[in-house]
A and B are shown apart, each in its own frame.
Chain A
Amino acid sequence: MKKNFDIPEFVVAGHPNEGKSSVLSTLSEDDSVRISPVPGETKSCRTFPLILDNREIMRFVDTPGFQNPRATLKWMREYRGDDRMLIPAFLEAHRGNPRFRDDCELLAPMAGASGIIFVVDGSRPMRNVDRAEMEILRLTGKPRMAVLNCKDTETAWLSEWQSEFRKHFNIIRVFNSCRATFAERIRLLESIKSIDQELEPGLSAVISALDMDWSARNRRTAELVVFMLTDIAGWKAEVRLRDGQQADKIREKLVARYRSFARKREKAAFDQIRRLFRHRRLDLKLPGQEAIDHDLFSRKTWEFLGLSRKQLIMAGFAGGAAIGAGIDLGHGGLSMGLFGAAGGILGAAGAAFRAKSLLEGRKIMGVRLDRETLHAGPAASPQLLFVLVDRAIIFYNCVTNWAHGRRDYENMEEAVEFFKKHTSCLTSTWSQRQRDELHRLYRAISEDNVEELQKTQARLAESLTALLENLSRHDARPV
């Protein structure tokens, strides 16, 4: 690892409560950053390194806000020393002064910084303190970039900010810390690249790594969704029916069990997706789980000594050997020492065809040898898959659009409602070909066709990946 001072460092500075910590939280997908509506939340610097394969490429530093911008500027203007020693001199002069604690804390990392990012809430008017702060940053002599983080939709002052920024900053970017998407995060990093040429190779590598990582997350999400679909739609259970038990009641119980499984399974998949996108605090619940309460296929079967009617016939045919050994006919298992097998074929088969009538209710020492079983599952209609996919897409959209710096968790339901209405790639808009993929998956599940299942899973995961990529990289941002 490189030595500390070799690593380019960008200091994020600004007035208190403008969203410095929010911007960094979103940019670094770190929802553990302390953010609060009370100004002065950040008391000491926190670094946000960009680490690529254990190599630290660059880092951002979150700082407290200016507490005495006018006084600081005044001091700096009166300073008559070596320009390069401005910050150390300021720190020296104000060390131990509690009034200037925050100002020292925020100026200290600037001495060695490669650049400064000034964060401002563009939805408010500009005041003299802001001008003073910009001037202070100018006096540091570092490359500067301005980030307009508009806290609300008010745009009346935006142009004033921008024209003022043009005088002070090399680069100006609008970056909303509560709504920034992946693409916007990348664009912000891209523009940092142009601040300092030396940063370019390292930062390019980070950006491409982030890009690949994002694609991998989408692919993983698609896979998780497909597995969830398979598990929920393919759920099966068997219950042995005892004498006098009503199949209907048991069936109801099984359906209830199935539904609770489906809900839990969906939640588990959603949790995995949420963690994939590094949300640890966002407890996003998609309402309307009853939509996935679907019905199950069910049927009754009859077995004697654990063998179904079909198996009884097979057993007669194969003399009991092949099945006991669990070796397929198809693999020549029978050729193993079964010289005498042929003899039993005819007799056993005859008996087995009439097996049920002959064997039903047989008991040995009071134990009934045959039994009836209720089988439930898989899901009774492919519609379920469509509902599940839609829900997963909505969930994905909520998770990827909930910036890590966003803390108004109480508004989550509203956001979910929004995405329910405004998600563009839901199954209702799918082409026939895409729908067929879901139908095919359903068929493979209900026929229990492993090979086909694998194929359809892979295909579906692929098209879902493409869909998610499209959704997260190109879809218009919500309001």
Chain B
Amino acid sequence: MFSRWKIEDILDLDFFIERDRETAAREGESALKKRDREICIKALGDRPEHDPRHSDAHFLLRLWLFAMRRGWQETHPGAMLPGAVWIETFSLLEWLAAFAGLFSGAALAFSLLAYSGTRPVNVLLLTGILLIPQLLILACTLAAMLFRRSCRMPAALSAATRLCMRLFRFIARRLADSSDLANGVEDSFDTAAANSSYSGMASRLAGIHGKIIILPFFILIQLYGICFNIGALAAIILKVTVTDVAFGWESTLRIGPEMLYGIVKAVAAPWAWFMPEGIGMPGLEQIAGSRMVLKEGMHDLATANLVSWWPFICMCLLFYALIPRIVLFISGKIMLARKLRDFDHNIPEFRKIIDRMTLPDVKTAGREPSCHPGTMSAASPGEPLRNKDSRTSLSHENSPEGEAATTSPAEHLSSAPLEMDANEPARHASDKAEATFLVPEEIMDSVPEEELSRLAARLTGSEFFKSRPFEPGELPEEKETGRGAADSGIACGRQHQGQVFILQEAWQPPIEEDLLFLEKFANLAQKTSGITVILVGKPSGNRFITSPDEQQAEVWELRLAALGNEGIKTLRLESFQ
């Protein structure tokens, strides 16, 4: 594991994040989650949170990057990652810059030093051309650096940073996997919209990384500058060593040797302490002696004066061009190192990766239905209801009585006593056939007498009724031999001649046991008029007999109807209220 981030790492990170975005759009975030969590567990063990490195974001990010690279190499053997492209491209650029610098520096110096022996090389022209543009540019660079520091650059100005990132993405895409990135994600709006935020993020990423990426180019330029000056220096020294070059100066203006001496002395100040006059710079007489006056020709000029200039030129290049470039070069390197050291991982993209690695992968969703052995053989009791697609029949609420009657036999039956009730109450009253209410034993005590008598009056026209408790679970044949049989509702159902009503709380789901009981009971009572199941709702306040919930009543009606027993009728209490 390395200790520092490098440019190529950042490029690769960016590349993988970009790819993940596409993977997520295609396969969903959970695929990424699984992969990244595995990376973490593989490196830190089954309980990664116990490892101190678990909270080290830099470590985790590196870990991720390394794993991603490894994965990449496995799936794309031979393909290059942007980081590798960068390394190669950049070292090529470095060589190019160095050669171009050396070559152009040397070429410029050689051309300026062209000395035919008739006229000395013009020192002012030589230094001017070699130095002044460089100094100007240097000043610009410094000014720009200061400007940058003091006020933030608006985003539009750092277009170059984005350009660099885009360029590398482009190259990486071309080189890496034209195949699996190109077969695109379908362009649904979802992804498009997500991408629009991502594009924002991508450019932001570029903004962050771009600031780092731009520095190598700065360094590259300094390298060029260094080599340019080295080339120029080397050319001068070579030329001076192997040929006899004469340096002189001239001016149309009235610049005297004294004035030039003053300028030269000031310029040479930085190296005067170790290269005194005569070595590091020409003295006054030498300057005076190397002045070229057009009409006088060259013959009067002394050789010693003519050659005294070259060390000065070299020192000028060294101190005013080469050394500043070297300083900039080094400071560029330092800036880069610092930027890389302070590399910010606290951006949403990286946090997402780290989250995926550090957060446990917890799943709670249910598995597709599994069977416990040995119980699946029998048919289910609720089947008849289900076959009719209960939900659709339940969904049309509040179906009017008449309409429902045509579809549901239970409803049909249940309307019978209603009609009788409405049209011929007198007949029932004269029959003196008392209604019998079978009430589940457990609620017998809570049902007030007068509620039952009111109910009887409405159902049969007579207030007289009998009420008997019963225990639903207990089936007739089981109870038949029991002691209390004669007294129980079962017996009642068998013997009674009048109508038998069974109170059923509709909010209780119809379970197999209850249905079976009702069926058997209805069979017993068949010889009379069968049974009517009265569906009541939840007790509310001091009233016990209330109207049932629409849906729950319908469930009961359907289930009872599904029994197909002629002797069972159902009655929703709501019809009366």
Contacts and interface: CB of A to CB of B under 8 A. Distances in A.
Interface in A7-23: 15-17
Interface in B342-384: 346-348, 351-352, 355, 359-382
Contact of A209 (B148, B158, B359, B378): B359
A310 B117 CA distance: 51
A65 B510 CA distance: 11
Nearest to A48: B366
A344 to B, nearest CB: 14
Nearest to B325: A335
Contacts of A66: 511
A331 B472 CA distance: 92
Interface in A383-410: none
B88 interface: no
A342 B136 contact: yes
Q: Is the interface of B mostly helix, strand, loop or mixed?
A: helix
Interface stretch (B190-198, B232-240, B267-275, B422-430): B190-198
B319 interface: no
B99 interface: no
A328 B145 CA distance: 11
Given A330-B144, A331-B144, A51 B362 contact: yes
Contacts of B512: 67-68, 99, 102
| Central interface residue in A69, A213, A271, A332, by most chain B CB within 10 Å | A332
Interface stretch (B213-221, B492-500, B524-532, B569-577): B213-221
Contact of A335 (B104, B138, B154, B390): B138
Interface string A21-46: 00011011110110011111001111
A265 B158 CA distance: 28
Given A125-B538, A334-B137, A39 B379 contact: no
Contacts of B369: 44-46
Interface string A56-81: 00000010011111110010000000
A146 to B, nearest CB: 19
A108 interface: yes
A127 B439 CA distance: 13
Given A265-B196, A268-B193, A268-B194, A46 B508 contact: no
B76 to A, nearest CB: 27
Interface stretch (B200-208, B244-252, B405-413): B200-208
Given A51-B362, A209-B360, A447-B154, A332 B137 contact: yes
Interface string A201-231: 0000110111011001001100100011011
A337 interface: yes
B51 interface: no
A474 B224 CA distance: 63
A332 B221 contact: yes
Nearest to A45: B372
A454 B347 contact: yes
A92 to B, nearest CB: 9
B380 A102 contact: yes
Given A54-B361, A96-B378, A331-B218, A45 B370 contact: yes
A336 interface: yes
A127 B538 CA distance: 12
A49 interface: yes
A333 interface: yes
A89 interface: no
Interface in B482-523: 505, 507-513, 516
Interface string A91-106: 1000111111110110
| Central interface residue in B140, B193, B362, by most chain A CB within 10 Å | B362
Contact of A71 (B207, B370, B513, B539): B513
A323 B487 CA distance: 107
Contacts of A351: none
| Central interface residue in B224, B351, B365, by most chain A CB within 10 Å | B365
A113 to B, nearest CB: 11
B233 to A, nearest CB: 17
Given A39-B509, A70-B513, A448-B154, A47 B367 contact: yes
A264 B513 contact: no
A411 interface: no
A453 B362 CA distance: 34
Contact of B385 (A38, A95, A230): A38
B366 A205 contact: no
A46 B367 contact: yes
Contacts of B197: 227-228, 230-231, 265, 269
Nearest to A70: B473
Contacts of A109: 372
B155 interface: yes
Contacts of B472: 70
**Size range of the interface on A?**
35 or more
A113 B256 CA distance: 110
B291 interface: no
B163 interface: yes
B394 interface: yes
Given A62-B366, A101-B381, A265-B193, A129 B511 contact: yes
Given A71-B473, A448-B154, A335 B141 contact: yes
A412 interface: no
A137 B341 CA distance: 64
Contact of B214 (A51, A104, A331): A331
Contacts of A65: 509, 511
B221 A29 contact: no
A124 interface: yes
Given A330-B144, A331-B160, A339-B133, A99 B366 contact: no
B378 A333 contact: no
B156 interface: yes
B254 interface: no
Contact of B155 (A15, A49, A326, A450): A450
B153 to A, nearest CB: 7
B389 to A, nearest CB: 10
B294 interface: no
A68 B511 contact: yes
| Central interface residue in B144, B201, B352, B363, by most chain A CB within 10 Å | B363
A101 to B, nearest CB: 4
A38 B361 contact: no
B442 interface: yes
A334 B140 contact: yes
| Central interface residue in B145, B200, B382, by most chain A CB within 10 Å | B382
A40 B366 contact: no
A17 B507 CA distance: 10
A458 interface: yes
B217 A327 contact: yes
Interface of A: 15-17, 24-25, 27-30, 32-33, 36-40, 43-54, 62, 65-71, 74, 91, 95-102, 104-105, 108-109, 124-125, 127-129, 132, 154, 205-206, 208-210, 212-213, 216, 219-220, 223, 227-228, 230-231, 234, 264-265, 267-269, 271-272, 278, 326-340, 342, 447-454, 458, 461
In the A-B complex, the 8 residue pairs with the smallest Cβ-Cβ separation, listed nearest first, are A70-B473, A39-B509, A268-B193, A67-B512, A209-B360, A40-B382, A108-B372, A332-B141
Given A96-B377, A129-B513, A228-B197, 4 more contacts: A95-B377, A210-B364, A265-B196, A272-B194
